[in-house]
């Protein structure tokens, strides 16, 4: 009992420290970072052109939520509200994994890296996505591991609604993960063939709509400010550049600046280092697994990462800043999906 109390005290201390870290990032972003560069769409949300609650448009809904909170409590308290909900999403999602204190510290260290910590500690769609994906992950794992029906909890429906409204493109990798869990429960042996079949379906769909996707990609740049300092307006120029440049484009959209862009603008260096560090953490974590190499788990985790990056690709490649900011909305759930498949499912076999 004394040992358990000691562990619980240590865990509470860890979470208190993480909360303080996020609060420090909040203060840094609001009082210092915002003076150097705009905080995305934050200023627009604080001073919206309208505040009508539109439940089928994410931007209009942000106008209403942020505008009304700002009117009632002021901008700092509104920022604090968004920090609190993102903190809750992280707390909820990690609590279902029964992590050791050492593993918990490892995860919280990743989620304390500057880009993720800043964009999920202020008024942003990323903060809302961290909240909703964290809640969603909690209920899905509770269903799979403990047979507790998530359909009985309103928060589960709220999380699905928010993900669908704010970032519907990430529903594909999320549904893929749930589908794989169902297949895995039915039979371990058919998981790999099923995944390969899904790849064939994915390739067929892209081939069938290749001309439509090509036309959309060549006109996608008009949604980004070509005069912005972090813009890449010339990434897709020729027909089918979306596919011919995809093999490095999806990673570049996630990483943010390339090494050549860092040489041209030293301001990008911290973001480049952080992104490379995330990749190193992933490779180190996989290499430290006590499980022998298993092609099934490797293919599943690779597929999860590929799907998240593929659907992030068109939104992140044309603007370095946007690529870094938008990835924070799915980083939590992508990391947790990979961890769960590689470390939890693998050890159950």
Closest CA to 44 of 61, 28, 67, 26: 67
Q: How far is CA 88 from the centre of its chain?
A: 15
pLDDT in tens, 175-203: 999 999 999 888 888 989 999 999 999 99
pLDDT computed for residue 237 by the predictor: 86
pLDDT exceeds cutoff 60 at 56: yes
pLDDT in tens, 273-313: 888 888 887 777 666 555 566 788 888 988 999 999 999 99
Alpha-carbon radius of gyration of the chain? 21
Percentage of the chain with pLDDT > 70? 91
DSSP code of residue 231 = B
pLDDT in tens, 217-234: 888 766 655 545 566 767
Tokens of 198: 């899904």
* Residue 163 contacts residue 129 (beta carbons within 8 Å): yes
103 vs 271, more confident: 103
Rounded average pLDDT over 241-258? 89
The packing angle between helices 75-95 and 2-28, to 10°, is 140
- Burial grade of 31 (CB within 10 A; 0-12, 13-18, 19 or more): exposed
pLDDT exceeds cutoff 60 at 110: yes
pLDDT in tens, 62-104: 999 999 999 999 999 999 999 999 999 999 999 999 898 998 9
Which range (4-13, 42-51, 224-233, 326-335) has the least confidence? 224-233
pLDDT exceeds cutoff 60 at 1: no
Which range (254-258, 259-263, 264-268) has the least confidence? 264-268
pLDDT exceeds cutoff 60 at 19: yes
Percentage of the chain with pLDDT > 90? 55
pLDDT computed for residue 274 by the predictor: 87
pLDDT computed for residue 347 by the predictor: 60
Length of the chain: 349
Q: How far apart are CA 125 and CA 62, in angstroms?
A: 8
pLDDT exceeds cutoff 90 at 326: yes
Tokens of 59: 């931007």
**Mean pLDDT score across all residues of the chain:** 88
Q: How far apart are CA 130 and CA 159, in angstroms?
A: 10
pLDDT computed for residue 3 by the predictor: 53
**Domain positions in the chain:** 1-166, 168-349
256 vs 303, more confident: 303
pLDDT computed for residue 61 by the predictor: 95
- End-to-end Cα spacing for the chain: 32
Rounded average pLDDT over 133-162? 94
pLDDT computed for residue 344 by the predictor: 75
């Amino acid at each position: 009992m004394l040992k358990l109390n000691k562990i619980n005290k240590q865990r509470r201390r860890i979470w208190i420290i993480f909360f303080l870290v996020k609060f420090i990032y909040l203060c840094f972003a609001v009082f210092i970072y915002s003076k150097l560069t705009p905080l995305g769409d934050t200023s627009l949300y604080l001073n919206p052109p309208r505040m009508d609650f539109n439940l089928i448009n994410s931007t209009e809904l942000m106008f209403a939520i942020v505008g009304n909170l700002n009117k009632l409590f002021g901008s700092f308290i509104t920022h604090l509200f968004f920090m609190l909900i993102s903190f809750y999403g992280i707390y909820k999602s990690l609590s279902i994994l029964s992590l050791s204190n050492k593993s918990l510290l490892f995860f919280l260290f990743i989620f304390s890296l500057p880009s993720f910590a800043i964009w999920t500690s202020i008024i942003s769609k990323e903060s809302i996505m961290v909240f909703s994906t964290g809640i969603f992950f909690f209920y899905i794992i509770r269903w799979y591991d403990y047979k507790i029906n998530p359909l009985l909890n309103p928060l589960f429906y709220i999380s699905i609604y928010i993900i669908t409204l704010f970032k519907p493109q990430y529903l594909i990798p999320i549904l893929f993960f749930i589908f794989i869990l169902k297949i895995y429960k039915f039979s371990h042996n058919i998981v790999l063939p099923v995944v390969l079949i899904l790849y064939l379906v994915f390739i067929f769909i892209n081939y069938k709509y290749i001309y439509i996707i090509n036309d959309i990609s060549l006109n996608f740049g008009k949604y980004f400010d070509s005069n912005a300092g972090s813009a890449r307006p010339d990434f897709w120029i020729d027909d089918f550049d979306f596919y011919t440049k995809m093999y490095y484009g999806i990673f570049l959209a996630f990483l943010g600046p390339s090494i050549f862009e860092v040489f041209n603008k030293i301001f990008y260096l911290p973001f480049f280092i952080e992104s490379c560090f995330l990749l190193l953490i992933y490779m180190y974590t996989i290499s430290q697994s006590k499980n022998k190499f298993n092609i099934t788990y490797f293919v599943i985790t690779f597929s999860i990462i590929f799907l998240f990056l593929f659907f992030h690709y068109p939104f992140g490649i044309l603007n370095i800043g946007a690529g870094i900011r938008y990835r924070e909305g799915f980083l939590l759930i992508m990391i947790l999906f990979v961890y769960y498949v590689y470390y939890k499912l693998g050890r159950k076999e």
